[in-house]
Amino acid sequence: MIDVQNQFINRNAHQIVPGIQPLLERFDWVFASRLLPQAGGPIHRWKGYLPKPVDDPGSALALDYGVRPPKELDSSKKTGFGAITAGVRTELQALGIRVAHVCGMDTDLCVLRTVGDLMELGIRPGRIH
């Protein structure tokens, strides 16, 4: 999950969460990234947007993960476009992940960047059937 946080759910994106929610139970592992504020960072510079602080309710993950919360490593808290930080890369490699299904907000930038980074690691993007 890339940046599926309350702060990004608006009238144009409100249908995304109900579309993702029923898919969560199909996967053994769910990783969630969270976009954090960084004044002068790439998101702020290029998009003019400063995300809400981590303790703000808007920064909370917008999905109900039930009894199986996502693997949200400190290293998955990102300030740039891609969600594959050094810590996430290490975790994916340790788990032997070979296929990843990716979804989230800002598909044309953050999700696309993350998929490209996964492919560079030899992890194939998956398809939902």
* pLDDT value of residue 124: 96
Q: Are 29 and 1 in contact (CB under 8 A)?
A: no
Please report which confidence band the pLDDT of residue 69 belongs to, taking 50, 70 and 90 as the band edges.
low
Neighbouring CB atoms inside 10 A of 77's CB total 17
* pLDDT value of residue 28: 82
Neighbouring CB atoms inside 10 A of 75's CB total 16
The pTM of the full predicted model, rounded to 2 decimals, is 0.84
Q: Kindly tell me if the per-residue pLDDT of 45 is higher than 80.
A: yes
Q: Report pLDDT digits (tens) over 71-101.
A: 655 556 888 889 998 888 998 999 999 999 9
Neighbouring CB atoms inside 10 A of 25's CB total 10
Q: Kindly tell me if the per-residue pLDDT of 1 is higher than 80.
A: no
Residues 57 and 4: their CA atoms lie apart, in Å, by 13
Q: Say what the alpha-carbon torsion angle 27, 11, 9, 117 is, to the nearest 10 degrees.
A: 60
